[in-house]
């Protein structure tokens, strides 16, 4: 029996901008490369603009549209609700979907506040008792090289973990004339670089090591405090003295965050998340040092992993490059011959593949909403530490 003759899983997605596009690509392609227990069907796309949603649905392959997410959740042909909206709406949509018996995939960070994340995690636990599952979309877990690093740690190849250093470096808002988009507004995004990209390196570090952060001490900074309002024409706005004639708005989130921490196994960790690393486009970097070996990764060379075996004689020792494209590497065997690299979009295909398999098998998917709540608590602890200049801020247990 072909996949087209088997069971299906109706997908409804809320939001169709950047994340919506990559999620759509994942739902559209996953069945062509992975033998799934149920075939995803792109049932309906939801957005606020009827015309914009219709155009996006036609371009990305969605069968129907809605302009009210409540109507999307109520559809009989939707079994999974995929949330690709800004963080301020995650909790309301996710909780309503879970209570309606729909599985939920939610973009990261899970919410804008710990309280919202706690409510979402509680709803997910309750739903799981009824066989309804939720997952938070930390897609970098699904980079084959990162999954391989986690495998090596779990196998004991690195020995006792001593140090973790993680960075997420971007430069897309270095220009002070870049507009005040939603990611730079606290009421929509929750926080700036800390929540948007810092959340990724927190999850990545915890995923690779299998340990949780227990204490943090942090600093945050906003380098450009006012920016032109997004979508406001300079010709229609009062000149506020910035030289462009554009109306200005306040940036009330961080541009960069630095923090150190301690992991549950005793390792020390350092983290850097910034949108002001001029020349760096999407450099998610992590290095894990153990008693037996070290592993290092940079997403700007995402098919490569660097491994140092400390058991080798000093005359032979050193980091060696591993091209993570072999059939035995996580996910890679479903795609191209060895040496033919994957890209950013493939991580989302791996994500929805794992999600569909978990739903079909009745096994709670990972990362769970509890995992997302843990990351939210780390983010909140960093913010508290930075605000009161405290040396170490404890993180609550989930």
The enclosing domain of 116 has a CATH number of 3.40.50.720
Q: Are residues 133 and 151 in the same domain?
A: no
Kindly report, residue by residue over 96-114, the tens digit of the pLDDT.
Answer: 999 999 999 999 999 999 9
Kindly give the pairing relationship between strand 161-169 and strand 268-274.
parallel
- Distance in angstroms (rounded) separating the CA atoms of residues 70 and 44: 12
Report the candidate in 5, 57, 3 with the shortest Cα–Cα distance to residue 31: 3
Interhelix angle for 114-128 vs 369-388, to 10°?
170
Locus of tokens 């592993």: 295
- Contact partners, residue 151, CB within 8 Å, separation at least 6: 330
- Distance in angstroms (rounded) separating the CA atoms of residues 122 and 341: 39
- Distance in angstroms (rounded) separating the CA atoms of residues 379 and 375: 6
Backbone angles phi, psi at 245, to 5 degrees: 80, 0
- Distance in angstroms (rounded) separating the CA atoms of residues 371 and 206: 10
The DSSP call for residue 324 is -
Is 348 within the bounds of a domain? no
Is 199 within the bounds of a domain? yes
| Domain end residue (candidates: 70, 104, 139) | 139
Report the candidate in 219, 218, 214, 203 with the shortest Cα–Cα distance to residue 262: 214
Is 381 within the bounds of a domain? no
- Distance in angstroms (rounded) separating the CA atoms of residues 216 and 266: 13
Is 388 within the bounds of a domain? no
pLDDT of residue 25: 98
- Contact partners, residue 329, CB within 8 Å, separation at least 6: 144, 145, 147, 148
pLDDT of residue 260: 97
Is 375 within the bounds of a domain? no
Q: Are residues 193 and 280 in the same domain?
A: yes
DSSP, collapsed to helix, strand or coil, labels residue 357 as helix
Is 389 within the bounds of a domain? no
DSSP string covering 189-230? HSSSHIIIIIHHHHHHHHHHHT--EEEEEEEEE-S--EEEBT
Q: Are residues 84 and 155 in the same domain?
A: no
Kindly report, residue by residue over 224-235, the tens digit of the pLDDT.
Answer: 999 999 764 332
Is 391 within the bounds of a domain? no
Q: Are residues 258 and 121 in the same domain?
A: no
Locus of tokens 């699904």: 142
pLDDT band at 393 (very low <50, low <70, confident <90, very high): confident
Q: What is the mean pLDDT of the segment spanning 215-239? A: 74
Backbone angles phi, psi at 130, to 5 degrees: -100, 10
- Distance in angstroms (rounded) separating the CA atoms of residues 393 and 214: 9
pLDDT at 270 over 80: yes
pTM above 0.95, yes or no: no
CATH number where 293 lies: 3.30.360.10
Kindly report, residue by residue over 348-385, the tens digit of the pLDDT.
Answer: 999 999 999 999 999 999 999 999 999 999 999 999 99
- Average per-residue pLDDT for the chain: 94
Q: Are residues 205 and 322 in the same domain?
A: yes
Higher pLDDT, 267 or 390: 267
Q: Are residues 65 and 7 in the same domain?
A: yes
Kindly report, residue by residue over 256-265, the tens digit of the pLDDT.
Answer: 999 999 999 9
Kindly report, residue by residue over 81-91, the tens digit of the pLDDT.
Answer: 999 999 999 99
Locus of tokens 């983010």: 379
Q: Are residues 182 and 52 in the same domain?
A: no
| Domain end residue (candidates: 139, 172, 199) | 139
Kindly report, residue by residue over 4-42, the tens digit of the pLDDT.
Answer: 678 999 999 999 999 999 999 999 999 999 999 999 999
Q: Which structural domain range is residue 204 located in?
A: 144-301+303-342
* 80: β partners: 11, 103
- Say if CB 103 and CB 80 are below 8 A apart: yes
- Distance in angstroms (rounded) separating the CA atoms of residues 206 and 61: 35
| Domain end residue (candidates: 77, 107, 139) | 139
Is 397 within the bounds of a domain? no
Q: What percent of the chain has pLDDT over 70?
A: 95
Total of domains in the chain: 2
């Amino acid at each position: 029996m072909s996949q087209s003759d088997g069971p299906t899983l109706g997908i409804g997605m809320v939001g169709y901008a950047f994340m919506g596009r990559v999620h759509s690509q994942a739902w559209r392609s996953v069945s062509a490369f992975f033998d799934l227990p149920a075939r995803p069907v792109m049932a309906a796309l939801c957005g606020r603009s009827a015309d914009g949603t219709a155009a996006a649905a036609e371009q990305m392959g969605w069968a129907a549209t809605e302009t009210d997410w409540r109507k999307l959740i109520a559809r009989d042909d939707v079994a999974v609700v995929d949330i690709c909206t800004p963080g301020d709406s995650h909790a309301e949509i996710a909780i309503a979907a879970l209570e309606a018996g729909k599985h939920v995939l939610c973009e990261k960070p899970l919410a804008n506040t710990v309280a919202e994340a706690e409510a979402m995690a509680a709803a997910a636990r309750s739903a799981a008792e009824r066989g309804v599952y939720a997952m938070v979309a930390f897609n970098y877990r699904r980079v084959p090289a990162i999954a391989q690093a986690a495998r090596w740690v779990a196998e004991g190849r690195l020995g006792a973990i001593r140090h973790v250093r993680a960075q997420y470096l971007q430069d897309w808002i270095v220009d002070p004339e870049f507009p005040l988009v939603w990611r730079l507004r606290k009421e929509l995004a929750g926080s700036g670089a800390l929540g948007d990209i810092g959340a990724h390196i927190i999850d990545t570090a915890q995923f690779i090591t299998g340990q949780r952060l227990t204490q943090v001490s942090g600093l945050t900074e906003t380098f450009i405090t006012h920016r032109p309002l997004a979508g406001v024409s300079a010709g229609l706005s009062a000149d506020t003295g910035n030289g462009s004639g554009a109306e200005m708005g306040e940036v009330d989130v961080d541009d960069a965050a630095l923090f150190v921490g301690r992991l549950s196994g005793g390792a020390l960790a350092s983290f850097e998340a910034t949108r002001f690393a001029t020349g760096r486009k999407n450099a998610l970097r992590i290095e894990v040092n153990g008693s037996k070996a070290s592993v290092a990764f940079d997403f700007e060379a995402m098919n490569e992993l660097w491994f140092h075996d400390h058991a080798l004689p000093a005359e032979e020792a050193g980091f060696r490059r591993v091209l993570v494209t072999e059939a035995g590497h996580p996910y890679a065997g479903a795609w191209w011959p060895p040496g033919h690299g994957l890209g950013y979009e493939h991580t989302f295909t791996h994500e929805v593949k794992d999600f569909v398999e978990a739903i079909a098998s009745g096994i709670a998917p990972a990362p769970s909403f509890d995992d997302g709540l843990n990351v939210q608590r780390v983010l909140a602890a960093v913010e508290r530490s930075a605000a009161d200049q405290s040396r170490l801020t404890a993180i609550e247990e989930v």
